[in-house]
């Protein structure tokens, strides 16, 4: 007996952790810093850490009240109805719920390339097909309406990423509105705002609710996560905000108690921890500006908590940088073999990363380094 044919499926390649790299190299973990997975350099929200400890004795119970309370808190934050908040096991869990709610067998989803691999993975898990629109390096990976719409062919879901991973580019709300307006009545535009807190653009939730001069739409959904700005990546807590007209589909597609008791309690504490979030955002702004100014390579403008860097041979540079104690992301898995992605760290981590990468570029790839219009 065998599972169904999975030959078209690809495995998600996560960034490698310190313990994993240290074991492989036979080194002490304290020698390394990890700037490969866009995690929060300040750790979790302190308020969330307290909530986790206090909630530990209640994990024998299902998280019904915590689930309800967190949905209400998120709804209050975004001024939407709680039924529009689809809590999930990370942002990828919310993607799965949208796939379950939207896709019939052989429906297409349209995804950016390069982009987050799980958009397509989730579609295939749910017997859908995947099509791509290409984002151009020379155009700073801009997700323009023309780029998206020229590739569109009645796809059931159209994914936009703002800020985009791995480049850090964003999408203006007027452009999201135009894409939604010019796609079919049966197409849902999903705006992934996993890094939205770091960006100087308004959330696409305004399009769902008809705010800021936009008309309310029933063909846009928004993804958010507690992994980045709130520092709760290890708890796997995310959510979708969906149009009110079909919010009740959640009860038919979600797993029982989609987020754990600990995750819900941590989320309830973190969502009000403005001090931690603001510290995190300021660190990201400072770090990405420093890397743009001081890395001896082309660095794309970014509104995420990371930067994309053109280095010529990404695998060689990433491997040598790792040998010298700084773990960065080789973007070959994104289809960008000439680029690495570097997470915004603390001041000390950013200084070390810049010094190390520059030294590696000088030693490993000076003849193939891409600068200016990479």
Examine the domain organization and report whether 207 and 136 are in the same domain.
Answer: yes
Query: Contact, 92 vs 115, CB < 8 A?
Result: no
Given pLDDT bands bounded at 50, 70 and 90, which one contains residue 367?
A: low
Tokens at residue 144, please? 């323009």
Provide the domain count of the chain. 2
Three-state DSSP class for residue 299: strand
Distance in angstroms (rounded) separating the CA atoms of residues 124 and 209:
31
> What was the pLDDT predicted at 103?
96
Examine the domain organization and report whether 241 and 264 are in the same domain.
Answer: yes
Examine the domain organization and report whether 133 and 244 are in the same domain.
Answer: yes
pLDDT digits (tens, 9 = 90+) for 209-251: 988 889 899 999 999 999 999 999 999 999 999 999 887 899 8
Q: What is the DSSP letter of 166?
A: T
Q: In what order do the strands lie in the sheet with 306-310?
A: 306-310, 339-343, 329-330
Among 60-64, 114-118, 193-197, 312-316, the range scoring the smallest mean pLDDT is 60-64
Where does a domain end: 270, 286, 321?
Answer: 270
Place of tokens 């810049």: 354
**pLDDT: is 364 or 38 the higher one?**
38
Tokens at residue 226, please? 């507690």
pLDDT digits (tens, 9 = 90+) for 48-59: 999 999 999 989
**pLDDT: is 155 or 14 the higher one?**
155
Mean pLDDT, the chain, integer: 93
Instruction: Assess if residue 347 is contained within a domain.
Output: yes
> What was the pLDDT predicted at 62?
87
Where does a domain end: 236, 270, 304?
Answer: 270
Instruction: Assess if residue 9 is contained within a domain.
Output: no
Given pLDDT bands bounded at 50, 70 and 90, which one contains residue 311?
A: very high
Residue numbers of the domain that contains 299? 18-44+274-364
We report the CATH number of the domain holding residue 357 as: 3.90.1150.10
Where does a domain end: 253, 270, 287?
Answer: 270
pTM (2 d.p.): 0.93
The Cα-based distances of 33 to 43, 88, 206 in angstroms read 13, 30, 38
Instruction: Assess if residue 4 is contained within a domain.
Output: no
We report the CATH number of the domain holding residue 108 as: 3.40.640.10
Length of the chain in terms of residues written: 374
Cβ burial, residue 252 (10 Å; 0-12/13-18/19+):
exposed
Instruction: Assess if residue 13 is contained within a domain.
Output: no
Examine the domain organization and report whether 186 and 258 are in the same domain.
Answer: yes
């Amino acid at each position: 007996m065998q599972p169904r044919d999975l030959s078209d499926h690809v495995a998600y390649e996560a960034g490698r952790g310190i313990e994993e790299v240290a074991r492989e190299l036979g080194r002490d973990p304290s020698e390394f810093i990890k700037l490969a997975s866009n995690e929060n350099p300040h750790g979790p929200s302190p308020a969330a850490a307290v909530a986790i400890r206090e909630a530990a004795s209640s994990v024998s119970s299902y998280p019904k009240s915590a689930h309800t309370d967190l949905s209400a808190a998120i709804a209050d934050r975004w001024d939407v109805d709680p039924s529009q908040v689809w809590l999930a096991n990370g942002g990828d869990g919310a993607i799965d719920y949208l796939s379950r709610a939207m896709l019939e067998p052989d429906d297409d989803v349209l995804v950016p390339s390069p982009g987050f691999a799980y958009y397509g993975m989730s579609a295939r898990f749910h017997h859908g097909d995947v099509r791509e629109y290409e984002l151009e390096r020379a155009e700073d990976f801009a997700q323009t309406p023309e780029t998206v719409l020229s590739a569109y062919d009645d796809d059931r879901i159209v994914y936009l990423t703002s800020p985009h991973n791995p480049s850090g580019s964003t999408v203006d709300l007027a452009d999201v509105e135009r894409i939604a307006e010019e796609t079919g009545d049966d197409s849902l535009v999903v705006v992934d705002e996993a890094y939205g807190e770091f960006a100087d653009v308004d959330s696409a939730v305004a399009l769902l609710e008809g705010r800021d001069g936009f008309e309310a739409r029933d063909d846009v959904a928004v993804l958010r996560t507690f992994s980045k700005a709130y520092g709760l990546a290890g708890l796997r807590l995310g959510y979708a905000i969906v149009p009110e007209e079909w919010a009740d589909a959640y009860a038919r597609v979600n797993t029982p108690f989609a987020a754990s008791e600990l995750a819900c309690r941590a989320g309830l504490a973190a969502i009000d921890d403005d001090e931690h979030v603001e510290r995190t955002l300021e660190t990201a702004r400072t770090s990405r500006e420093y890397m743009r100014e001081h890395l001896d390579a082309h660095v794309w403008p970014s509104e995420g908590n990371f930067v994309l860097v053109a280095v010529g041979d990404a695998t060689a540079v990433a491997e040598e940088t790792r040998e010298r104690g700084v773990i960065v992301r080789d973007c070959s898995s994104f289809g960008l073999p000439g680029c690495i992605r570097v997470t915004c760290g603390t001041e000390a981590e950013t200084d070390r990363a810049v010094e190390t990468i520059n030294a590696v570029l000088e030693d490993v790839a000076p003849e193939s380094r891409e600068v200016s219009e990479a």
